Amino acid sequence: MIRANAEELIRKSIARFVDREIIPRAQEIDNKKEFPIEILKQIAEMGVFGIRYPKEKGGAGGNTTLYCIICEELARGLMSVAAITAMQCLMGTNFLFHFGTDQMRQTYFYPAMRGEKFSCFCLTEPEAGSDLGAVSTSAKKTEDGYMVNGLKTWVTNGPIADFFTVLCQTNPAKKFRGLNFFFIPRDTPGVSVSQPFETLGTVTTKMSEVAFSNVHIPEDYRLGQEGQGLDNLMTILAEIRSMTAALAIGLQRAALADSIRYAQEREAFGRPIGKYQLIQAKVANMATQLEASRLMTYRATRMIDQGIPCMTEASMAKYFATEAACTAADECTRIFGAYGYSMEYNAQRYYRDSRFLLNGGGTHEILQTNIARWAGL
């Protein structure tokens, strides 16, 4: 297990990588809209993809706090790179690691840790987003396994993934208790992937539909005990929400740093705009919300690391930090004046990429509903 005092060393090392390899090229990478494979290979070489997994099982022996620190630093550089990395470390590989056979781990998990294979997580369907009880992709029992039919959408990494973790319904009468995760390699007959979607932000993170048509898989491709899909999802939901909050912190830091730099350089009416109180108020609010986001997010990750239930804390952190990231990106475009509207500056990218954070791990309407219930309403 990596100790707390090593956390800052790892943060510094990732930060150096981000400053050297990502930030100077972020705009160019974003403009190209291509999957940033070279950067991801470098991230894999640093052992990042295995950060949450134990050393003795092929991982890097870190914890959720460290995972989130890395996600935060990468998001400070480019949200797309951070999003792909976050998926590869957690949702794309977690159930394969815990429930896959040795052979599945050899063929898919370890190569994924080395950045040789990519993964993704398929929950959402055209008619089932927030309401997972409406998932209709079916996995019907056959003599020697399951037959999968259905359509998943908004699959982050779908166009480039080598294998999919897919939420299916095995018994519609049982609704949530009929949900199960399945491992499905991309080259299984009957699997097809759509063209990547055109999206507002994170344009190098590819998203698509993934269709399953009479896809036959063996019994041991079911990841976990029959009927435990929702319970298994709950084991990582607080971590997913904390990770999304960490991505939001990274974006807030980038927007704040650019805003301060610009406010010091840009002059209006004979003074730097940073001398005006209305600009100072924006920066003060961004800095305060950033600090609050940090406190909430890393409180939740420390609780996860100590095995303390923290769905409320993680949900509040995701809700707060993501709203703060959207506000910070908005304020950044205002501080930049007309140049906030120009594709030459980062401000527009922060604004577009901030929207990426809103849906994953639960929309804010769903989170607010849950928080109000936990608060006693």
Ligand X SMILES: Cc1cc2nc3c(=O)[nH]c(=O)nc-3n(C[C@H](O)[C@H](O)[C@H](O)COP(=O)(O)OP(=O)(O)OC[C@H]3O[C@@H](n4cnc5c(N)ncnc54)[C@H](O)[C@@H]3O)c2cc1C
Rule CB under 6 A: choose which of 123, 203, 245, 283 binds ligand X. Answer: 123
Pairwise CA distance, residues 247 & 325, whole Å: 9
Q: Which residue, 191, 171, 167, 165, is CA-closest to 180?
A: 167
CB of 46 to ligand X, least distance (A): 23
* Helix (H) or strand (E) run with residue 155 in it: strand 145-156
Rule CB under 6 A: choose which of 124, 297, 322, 354 binds ligand X. Answer: 124
Residue 194 binding ligand X, by CB under 6 A:
no
- Identity of the residue, 104 or 207, whose beta carbon is nearer to ligand X in the bound complex: 207
CB of 189 to ligand X, least distance (A): 23
List the beta bridge partners of residue 150: 212
Pairwise CA distance, residues 374 & 21, whole Å: 43
CB of 85 to ligand X, least distance (A): 13
Residue 121 binding ligand X, by CB under 6 A:
yes
Q: Tokens for 340?
A: 């906030």
Residue 139 binding ligand X, by CB under 6 A:
no
**Sites for ligand X among residues 351-370 (CB under 6 A):** 356, 359-360, 363, 365-366, 369
Residue 135 binding ligand X, by CB under 6 A:
no
- Identity of the residue, 8 or 231, whose beta carbon is nearer to ligand X in the bound complex: 231
What's the CA angle centered on 353, arms 31 and 372, to 5 degrees?
170
Binding segment toward ligand X, per CB under 6 A, in 106-114, 124-132, 210-218, 260-268: 124-132
Residue 130 binding ligand X, by CB under 6 A:
yes
56 neighbors 296 (Cβ within 8 angstroms): no
Residue 89 binding ligand X, by CB under 6 A:
no
159: helix, strand or coil: coil
170 neighbors 140 (Cβ within 8 angstroms): yes
Binding segment toward ligand X, per CB under 6 A, in 70-78, 118-126, 140-148, 341-349: 118-126
- Identity of the residue, 129 or 145, whose beta carbon is nearer to ligand X in the bound complex: 129
Reduced to 3 DSSP states, what percent helix, strand and coil does the chain have, rounded to the nearest 5?
Answer: 60, 15, 25
- Identity of the residue, 231 or 365, whose beta carbon is nearer to ligand X in the bound complex: 365
Residue 155 binding ligand X, by CB under 6 A:
yes
Rule CB under 6 A: choose which of 14, 207, 296, 335 binds ligand X. Answer: 207
Whose structure tokens read 């993501």? 322
Long-range interactions of 93-96: CB distance < 8 A, separation 24+: 93/49, 93/119, 93/165, 94/52, 94/165, 94/236, 95/165, 95/181, 95/183, 95/223, 95/224, 95/232, 96/163, 96/165, 96/183, 96/223
- Identity of the residue, 31 or 130, whose beta carbon is nearer to ligand X in the bound complex: 130
Binding segment toward ligand X, per CB under 6 A, in 41-49, 115-123, 272-280, 303-311: 115-123
89 neighbors 66 (Cβ within 8 angstroms): no
β-pairing verdict for 163-169 and 119-122: parallel
Residue 154 binding ligand X, by CB under 6 A:
yes
**CB-closest chain residue to ligand X:** 129
CB of 165 to ligand X, least distance (A): 9
Residue 136 binding ligand X, by CB under 6 A:
no
CB of 232 to ligand X, least distance (A): 15
Binding segment toward ligand X, per CB under 6 A, in 51-59, 116-124, 258-266, 275-283: 116-124
Q: Tokens for 175?
A: 């609704």
Positive/negative CA dihedral, 359, 365, 369, 375: positive
Q: What residues line the site for ligand X (CB under 6 A)? A: 120-124, 129-130, 154-156, 207, 356, 359-360, 363, 365-366, 369
